[in-house]
Amino acid sequence: MRFAICNEHWGNAPFEIICEEAAACGYEGLELAPFSLKDDPRDLTLADAVRLTRIAKSFGLEIIGLHWLLTKPAWMSITTPDAMLRKDALKFGQQMAHFCGALGGKVMVWGSPKARNLLSEWNAEDAWKRAVELVRGVAEVAGQYGATLAMEPLGRKETNFMTTAAEGIAFCKDVDHSACKLHLDVKAMSDESKPMPDIIRDSKEWFVHFHTNDPNLLGPGMGEVKYEPIITALREVGYDGWLSTEVFDYTLGPKVIAERSIGYLKEVMSRV
């Protein structure tokens, strides 16, 4: 398993600074949030991808992919009955698939809870079908550019759509495309009634990416979650992908978060 970290922890810092500090902490990969790169991510170009990749490589870093795909523009939705809004989300998702491929990225984490929330007046089954159709359309393009969509179940406080790994697997099965798989996130899994190691084992045929963090919104090892059972389960199922740290409370500052997160993960992995 290799270590990556998400770029938005550094806020508006120049990309060179982000890469320099991430590499100095020992990370090998960066996961990018499109909304952190331009105010309107629809303005991202292949020239931007070339520039970002060149900078990352100069620090020995690999850009592993994208996450927070539909944060901006905020009105996009994959479940809405409004066909025009879904069309916009589809077009943007396909654009991001092309952008991800140009970065050399292999994974597109599909979280963005507000872009999939269901309104009470919507029929849930119909909304599910709309989302499946839209995501399949993005997966078709992502596969062409060597990227895989990683559908992210999220906690019930964040969304009312796809809140368990089992639901995520069911969604991927309905999409029925080789470029649509599952993503697991420690904070999100902590909201499930099933123990996290069991979720990992039960999802072994489906998940392709993994986020490390804690329910307290900080990094791994900064809260109550113990990672020994998690790392053990990941090894049991043969996961050899990225452990990508995604934090939501930036109070400690990006450098402290980055150093403490990777330090803790390395220490746990040396013991189990």
Residue 270 pLDDT class (50, 70, 90 cuts): very high
**Predicted TM-score (pTM) of this structure:** 0.97
Q: Are strands 242-245 and 2-6 parallel, antiparallel or unpaired?
A: parallel
pLDDT at 134: 98
Residue 191 pLDDT class (50, 70, 90 cuts): very high
pLDDT at 76: 93
**What are the structural domains, with CATH classification, of the chain?**
2-271 (3.20.20.150)
pLDDT at 31: 98
| Helical axes 124-144 vs 83-103, angle rounded to 10° | 30
Q: Which residues contact 44 (CB under 8 A, 6 or more apart)?
A: 34, 37, 38, 95, 96, 99
Residue 72 pLDDT class (50, 70, 90 cuts): very high
pLDDT in tens, 208-261: 999 999 999 999 999 999 999 999 999 999 999 999 999 999 999 999 999 999
Tell me the residue type at 197.
P
pLDDT at 109: 98
Mean of per-residue pLDDT scores for the chain: 97
What's the whole-number mean pLDDT along residues 135-147?
A: 98
Contact 50, 101 (CB under 8 A): no
Contact 203, 179 (CB under 8 A): no
pLDDT at 68: 95
Tokens, residue 227: 């990672």
Quick one: what percent of the chain has pLDDT higher than 70? 100
Q: Which residues contact 11 (CB under 8 A, 6 or more apart)?
A: 36, 250, 254
What's the whole-number mean pLDDT along residues 58-64?
A: 98
What's the whole-number mean pLDDT along residues 10-28?
A: 97
pLDDT in tens, 78-133: 999 999 999 999 999 999 999 999 999 999 999 999 999 999 999 999 999 999 99
